[in-house]
Amino acid sequence: MNKNWEKWFRALLRDAGYQEGDKLVVGVSGGPDSVALLHLLRGILAPSVLHVVHLDHGIRPSAPAEAKYVSELAAAWDIPFSTQQVDVPEIAKREGWSLEEAARNARYQFMAQVAQEAGARLVAVGHNSNDQAETILLHFLRGSGLRGLRGMLPLSPFPGDPSLSLIRPLLNQSRADIETYCQEHNLNPLQDESNQDPAYLRNRIRLQLLPELAAYNPQIKNHLLQLAAIAEAEDDLVSMLFDDAWPELVVQTGPGWLTLDRDHFCDLSIALQRRAIRQAVETLHSDLTDLAFKTVEQAVELANRPESGTEMLLPGGLTLLVDYKTFLFMQGSAEIPLNMPQLQQEEIASEALRLSIPGQVELADGWVIAADWVEGEVGNRYSKIAPWTAVIDLPQSTALFVRPRKLGERMQPLGMDGRSSSLQDIMVNRKIAKRLREKWPLVATDEHVVWLTGHIIDHRAQISDNPRRIVRLTCERLGDKS
């Protein structure tokens, strides 16, 4: 065991805010790492401040014997002990998790429960430097970014419970050194036979992949640990930049939802945009800390698009809804304020509302759709119009109306050479939120839709080389100028 370990451990406790006499929960499986950890802690801290936690995962036939071993060990060392048995296979089946994921989540949940009951703010587990190298490689194989490549941290927020902290006092010790320590102190830890089971990905990394990589470079473990150190330092730098940007991004929060400012978001670098998506999700769902890269990229792309009213589903039952000037992250049942153009309720069942030129039609919540004439040159001047403005070519004496979509109605989106598509499909493809489609305002003539507001005009309304009447349509919220 590294001679500087005790000094390093005491520094770790200081960083965690530990005060003499504070309770410390220790996760003990009965294997070499956790038994050595408990022995070391018992030699430094009074046994009365420690509390051993052991979870029986209900997977191995040897589980009852392991629980008995840890119970007897804690009793022999005068340390309080808590245990629980759970059916991890059933949890994995119910939640759609792997056995490894289900066991980890159940273990952390039980440790958090015991810590709260014991009045402890710290939980210690026995991960070592070999575990760290395996974790980094595992994250690499899953396509992780900087946050994953830094691996486990000696001190981190407790998964699922930010009121607690998780410490890993053996993270700078090798597995071989820990096993030697057990031998030198006549400790007789158990050996987990499941550690040899190739059905588990981590085992295959430890037993097969790392030895294979070591054949190419015997220093592979050290290099992985160096990668973690580099990633941690650079991740800390990005975190500092992000912490400065985050308060400017958050517009409003409520039970189960938060909104971010679109303009500020779009001005950020892609690195900070990705981090903002992850932070928003973690704020609402603290145990969702491993969003897939593809999910984050889709959310970033959606938030950067000029259209509004679009949405996508996120893991954990969350939804991202792109609003007029903000975008919202919300849990399924959350009541949220919407800032989107919607027809007033009485308009849904009424006749289409005439849109005079010039003139306007009032929508719900202060929104209006307005029309006016445009004079002057045509062509490229109108080729790139803001999403809330549309410029169309209208035949003489043709009237405009504002109304909701009709059942089975079709449209010829500009850019499809006159081919038609159902408005339902267009709204879905444009990712307009389902909850908004029924009252989403359309601008139409007697014959067809000319503008799916905020998104696209109809092929038949595009400006020709010999325009008839050019009309500018705008949709905005009064008193809320961009």
3-state SS, residue 165: strand
pLDDT at 379: 45
- The band of 366, judged by pLDDT with boundaries at 50, 70 and 90, is confident
Residue 131 lies in a domain: yes
Choosing from 299, 331, 363, the residue where a domain stops is 331
Tell whether 283 and 390 lie within a shared domain: no
In the chain, pLDDT over 70 holds for what percent of residues?
93
Tell whether 17 and 135 lie within a shared domain: yes
Q: How far apart are CA 102 and CA 90, in angstroms?
A: 9
Residue 234 lies in a domain: no
Domain range for residue 201?
5-227
Return mean pLDDT, the chain: 88
Tell whether 288 and 387 lie within a shared domain: no
Of the candidates 48, 44, 6, 43, which has an alpha carbon nearest to the alpha carbon of residue 23? 48
Residue 339 lies in a domain: no
CATH code assigned at 152: 3.40.50.620
Question: Cβ distance 322 to 430 under 8 Å?
Answer: no
Question: Cβ distance 104 to 152 under 8 Å?
Answer: no
pLDDT at 333: 62
What tens digit of pLDDT does each residue of 254-308 get? Answer: 888 898 999 999 999 999 999 999 999 988 887 666 678 889 999 999 999 887 7
Q: How far apart are CA 338 and CA 31, in angstroms?
A: 53
Could you tell me the pTM of the whole model? 0.69
Tell whether 183 and 288 lie within a shared domain: no
Distances (CA, A) of 266 to 260, 261, 311, 326, 456: 11, 9, 17, 11, 22
Question: Cβ distance 199 to 233 under 8 Å?
Answer: no
Choosing from 302, 331, 360, the residue where a domain stops is 331
Question: Cβ distance 358 to 373 under 8 Å?
Answer: yes
Question: Cβ distance 26 to 41 under 8 Å?
Answer: yes
User: In this model, does residue 430 exceed pLDDT 50?
Assistant: yes
Contacts of residue 215, Cβ cutoff 8 Å, sequence gap at least 6: none
Of the candidates 43, 37, 49, 38, which has an alpha carbon nearest to the alpha carbon of residue 119? 49
Tell whether 392 and 313 lie within a shared domain: no
3-state SS, residue 112: helix
* Alpha helix ranges (H) inside 270-352: 270-284, 293-304, 345-348
Residue 158 lies in a domain: yes
Report the b/e string of 59-95 with b at 16+ CB within 10 A.
beeebeebbebbbebbeeeebbbbbeebebeebbeee
- The band of 383, judged by pLDDT with boundaries at 50, 70 and 90, is very low
Tell whether 378 and 317 lie within a shared domain: no
Residue 260 lies in a domain: yes
Distances (CA, A) of 77 to 38, 80, 159: 10, 9, 28
What tens digit of pLDDT does each residue of 330-357 get? Answer: 887 666 666 778 898 766 656 789 999 9
Q: What residues are paired with 85 via a beta bridge?
A: 56
Average pLDDT of the residues in 209-228: 95
Tell whether 167 and 309 lie within a shared domain: no
pLDDT at 2: 63
Tell whether 94 and 169 lie within a shared domain: yes
